[in-house]
Amino acid sequence: MSKRDELAGYHHTISEQLNARLAESPRFFWALVVVSTGYGYVLWGLQSITDKHEAAFLFAITSALAYFAVLWASWYLAALGYAFRFLQNAQHCMEHALRWDGYGPKGPSGDPPAVIKGFGGLFSLLPGIYHAHAFGLIGLLAIVVYGIYWHCQKWLGSCWAILVGLLLLGFGFGFIACVNVHYVRRYRGKWRNPSLEVDVLLL
């Protein structure tokens, strides 16, 4: 088998792995559906619990589960974007070596941003179909925190409930931002420019 055939076969393997990464979103999507549904059911049923200590304990457990499930999904999504871009960069390098790059779109593709600015830079590793997932997770985080605030004000009062809500919201948004920045910087250190790669094929 020639070197060209070996590289073409490896390119096919990378393409399959890329397709597998794109198919992984239902894993955390359905997990969030189950957790958020259970969280809503518990919040609805708290009114029927007469024991305040039991209701507070159940509320704390389910709220923590819903909150950290959203953070886990955000982390999972950021790591998924990193894995996708890493494989895509390897694929582009092989396409350049095989001289297939003329069949793809013109201009940079998968290049890491030099400076992380705004949401575009923060979620730059995510494929376009996952941008809706990222904004959906941010919205779900806000909903979960609002549910925590709404019930905390019954036991702690409005001032403490607002403080708890702001702390949870700030930590959640900060965590999402930090984990995405981490993977963008990590990818920036791994990225290779396909146009500068030496042609490894034997002519």
State residue 5's pLDDT score: 64
Burial of 132 from C-beta contacts in 10 A (0-12 / 13-18 / 19+): exposed
pLDDT tens for residues 67-110?
999 999 999 889 888 888 888 887 777 777 777 666 655 555 56
Q: How many Å is the maximal CA-CA distance in the chain?
A: 81
What band does 25 get if pLDDT is binned at 50, 70 and 90? Answer: low
What band does 11 get if pLDDT is binned at 50, 70 and 90? Answer: low
User: Are 71 and 28 in contact, with CB atoms under 8 Å apart?
Assistant: no
Q: Report yes or no on whether pTM surpasses 0.75.
A: yes
pLDDT tens for residues 140-171?
999 899 888 887 787 777 788 889 889 999 99
Length of the chain: 203
Question: Quick check: 190 pLDDT over 70?
Answer: yes
All structural domains of the chain with their residue ranges = 3-196
Q: End-to-end alpha-carbon separation of the chain, Å?
A: 14
Cα angle 186-81-132, degrees, rounded to a multiple of 5: 135
User: Are 61 and 42 in contact, with CB atoms under 8 Å apart?
Assistant: no
State residue 26's pLDDT score: 62
Alpha-carbon distance of 126 to 38, in angstroms, equals 28
